[in-house]
Amino acid sequence: MFKRLTCFLLAFALAFSFSLTPLQAFEPSPEDRELLNKIEKDTLQYFTRFSDKVTGLTKDSSRTGSPSSVAATGFALAAYAIGGSRGWISQDYAYTRILTTLQTLRHKAAHQKGFFYHFLDARTGERVWGSEASSIDTALAVAGALLAARYYPGTEIEKLAREIYERVNWKWMMNNSDFICMGWTPESKFLPYYWDSYNELMILVALSIGSPTLPVPPGAWERWLRPEGDYNGHKIIYASTGSLFTYQFSHAYIDFRNLDDRGINFFENSREATLANREYSMSFSGQYKGYSESSWGLSASVGPGGYKAYGGKPGGGLQDGTIAPYATLSSIVFTPEFSTQAARFFYDSYQKELYGNFGFKDAFNLDKGWWANEYLGIDQGITLLMLENYLNGEIVWKKFMGLPAIIKWIELTGLERRSASTAKN
């Protein structure tokens, strides 16, 4: 988490030269495309297996005893809609699972002014672990609900998704400050941490500005800091940890390729961050045998010493030889050739230890002979959505960018559209 900054807003404009070429500029071989589709389909099974059959709430992890995660539940909503459209699960099953989950979120899951608690009992929807009513996790749940609604327009799914979104009091979570607070608890009230600098916050701020009922001021988009850093010639607006997921989560839903934020293109920024992360990993190849041109990906994940915010430079740069395959796969829209190459390498080299019924497990470390024996819901979710955007005509982006809330956010913040490729689907 980031402590609320007291310094003035950093003033600069970062100019990128970027191309609006389609993702298909790199074409995987038929064999590699088949593998990528297999990974996406297998990853979907995490959500069908680890979501409660009565409430629909999705477990944070495949670990025994894991509670449900609201963010993972949001990814599940998106995953079911995608799986149904792809024919991997029946449309009846997809619709029923989405409807059940939304009914739980709307009527049963614990929340504070529309903000869901980070962790819930999967069977009852009650708050567990003393967790906070989380702004970012609620945003990810809402994003999944709104995307699922786009697959089923005019249905009860669309109605419930809208009600869940409209109930969230985004302005309240600002706590009379310039930034959105990270969370609130009944015991301590607002947390002392705010979304005040670049990271995965963009989906949160976009939805909060675009809200039709209880929005935050449009100026909330401009206020968060955009720190500039450089690694190996890659100039980046960077997150403090350098973890790849911070450059991915908002991009799973929002197509930033054609949006200019006063000289910054955040799609190109994530591409540069991914390239920097890969090169940072490779710079330790003489020290750790797991890192190579085909084996990279530093992001928050489980590791030999527990869950850590692994990442590249610029940023924290924490690494110990641990690699998270989800981070590499979820970068596929930014670095299709490198990510496809890595997917093939991970699968061919470590299938027995690293791949299971639900796709790639979370991470591994060759130097310590350590292999994760679990899957994390949010990591499976970002993998599935990014693969879907890449493999299936950017369909998630097209649907999400057609939402009135996203159109409102773009208009109110003065983001400049660069092309018509974000037309409604």
Phi-psi category of residue 55: left, alpha or beta, with phi > 0 → left and psi -120 to 50 → alpha:
alpha
The span from the CA of 59 to the CA of 271, in Å, is: 30
- Domain span holding position 72: 42-200
Tell me whether the omega of the peptide bond preceding residue 314 falls within 30 degrees of 0, making it cis. Answer: yes
The span from the CA of 30 to the CA of 42, in Å, is: 18
Q: Which amino acid is at 422?
A: T
Strand partners of residue 313: none
Structural domain includes residue 318: no
Predicted local distance difference test score (pLDDT) of residue 14: 31
pLDDT in tens, 55-102: 999 999 999 999 999 999 999 999 999 999 999 999 999 999 999 999
Q: Which amino acid is at 94?
A: A
**Residues with pLDDT less than 70, the chain:** 1-24, 418-425
Structural domain includes residue 222: no
Q: What is the 3 state secondary structure string of the chain?
A: CCECCCCCCCCCCCCCCCCCCCHHHCCCCHHHHHHHHHHHHHHHHHHHHCECCCCCCEECECCCCCCEEHHHHHHHHHHHHHHHHHCCCCHHHHHHHHHHHHHHHHHCCCEECCEEECEECCCCCCECCCCCEEHHHHHHHHHHHHHHHHHCCCCHHHHHHHHHHHHCCCCHHHCCCCCEECEEECCCEECCEEECECCCCHHHHHHHHHCCCCCCCCCHHHHCECCEEEECCEEEECCCCCCHHHHCCHHHCCCCCCEEECCECHHHHHHHHHHHHHHHHHCCCCCCCCCECCECCCCCECCCCCCECCCCCCCCCCCCCEECHHHHHCCCCCCHHHHHHHHHHHHHHHHHHHEECCEECCCEECCCCEECCCCEHHHHHHHHHHHHHHHCCCHHHHHHHCCHHHHHHHHHHCCEECCCCCCCC
Structural domain includes residue 210: no
The span from the CA of 309 to the CA of 242, in Å, is: 8
Q: Is 73 exposed, middle or buried (0-12, 13-18, 19+ CB in 10 A)?
A: buried
What's the sign of the alpha-carbon dihedral 181, 127, 246, 301?
Answer: positive
Predicted local distance difference test score (pLDDT) of residue 419: 56
* Residue 277 near residue 261 (C-beta atoms within 8 A): no
pTM: 0.92
Predicted local distance difference test score (pLDDT) of residue 24: 58
The distance in angstroms from the start CA to the end CA of the chain is 36
Structure tokens at 30: 């038929």
Predicted local distance difference test score (pLDDT) of residue 10: 29
Predicted local distance difference test score (pLDDT) of residue 329: 98
Structural domain includes residue 420: no
Predicted local distance difference test score (pLDDT) of residue 416: 83
The domain tally of the chain equals: 1
CATH number of the domain at 81, please: 1.50.10.140
Backbone angles phi, psi at 364, to 5 degrees: -155, 165
Structural domain includes residue 188: yes
Predicted local distance difference test score (pLDDT) of residue 422: 38
Structural domain includes residue 37: no
Radius of gyration over every alpha carbon of the chain, rounded to an integer in angstroms: 20
Structural domain includes residue 71: yes
* Residue 204 near residue 180 (C-beta atoms within 8 A): yes
